[in-house]
Structure 1
């Protein structure tokens, strides 16, 4: 008869193997969707990239949209961890944001372009917008007005000044160096500081 310790070890090893397979599938899908349109990537492509069967993907995520939702959750958690910045320190805030955008900005722009036709991406984008807004409220807590129209206006300006499309404009479309683009964002954020403007 199998001992309790042996059974526990076997179950633990099985759970670890399943989690490793799940992570491999997620990484494969992220890699493919970072450079190709959502509709152009099939479950078979992801299975081949991850070294698993399509059925294994279905067992873990139910469907392609289920996999996309899981990726959105995973990236949201990673973003939360990566975007740690001291409140009110504009250069540090911008540096942290650029570190994220330099690694994931191109993929983000590609996904955003598909929001209107892929429900899973629309859900992910809506969550990302809420997450970015919450981050802005946290890192700029020292400068934002109290609750009300003035705060909403200030948040709108800060959102525009830190949006991934502005990063794309500077880094990809205009070809600015990262240093120059970071300096531009710092200047923009400094210029819209509510403490220096009248929002009433």
Structure 2
């Protein structure tokens, strides 16, 4: 990569980081391109040149965060304790920002797109890390995946950690217990 290309990529990364930082703490509508440009140390025109505007930037931030989440969520298949610890590492870092974005999906198209993408990634991750316990493809597997999704959703993390004030250890134990209770291999099927 040449020096010019490296400088362009560094500028782009600064803008993405600035936007992600601001949107992690504030409502989408409360953050302007000027705020993002100032945080990144660039002009508004530079932001527009790189991303086309606020929605394009929001989509790029969502893509960046999704790819980081995929890299950070490495857990061995079937190890419930490791899976939960990995998930909590992610939620402790990004859960509050995720909850803030989810609260905006009905009025911010970029947040809705990001949430849809994240839901698909989370489901695929669950399919991979719980592959040892999920039934063969079909309705039973879909049901089991839906249960695992509900048991590991960021909203449940928020309930335990933020609303009920559980310690991380207690919240992790609760999630492990819930996941153990829904293990399809241990339940009677009707």
Give the TM-score of the pair, scaled to structure 1.
Answer: 0.94
Per-residue deviation, 1:118: 0.6
Moved over 4 A (4+): none
CA distance in 1, matches of 2:18, 2:170: 33
Does structure 2 retain, via aligned residues, the 8 Å contact 1:143–1:194?
A: yes
CA distance in 2, matches of 1:169, 1:121: 21
2:124 to 113, 134, 142: 134
Q: How many residues align?
A: 190
Per-residue CA deviation, residues 30-54 of structure 1 (Å, 9 max, x unaligned), is: 1100010000100001001111000
5 Å-filtered alignment, 1:1-200, equals: 12-200=2-190
CA distance in 2, matches of 1:111, 1:199: 37
Does structure 2 retain, via aligned residues, the 8 Å contact 1:150–1:199?
A: no
Per-residue deviation, 1:197: 1.0
Per-residue CA deviation, residues 156-197 of structure 1 (Å, 9 max, x unaligned), is: 110000000000000000000000100110000000000011
Per-residue deviation, 1:79: 0.6
Per-residue deviation, 1:147: 1.1
* Pair member with larger Rg: 1
- Runs (5+) with no aligned partner, structure 1: 1-10
Per-residue CA deviation, residues 71-129 of structure 1 (Å, 9 max, x unaligned), is: 11111110110000000000000000000000000000000000000111101100000
- Runs (5+) with no aligned partner, structure 2: none
Aligned CA-pair RMSD: 0.8
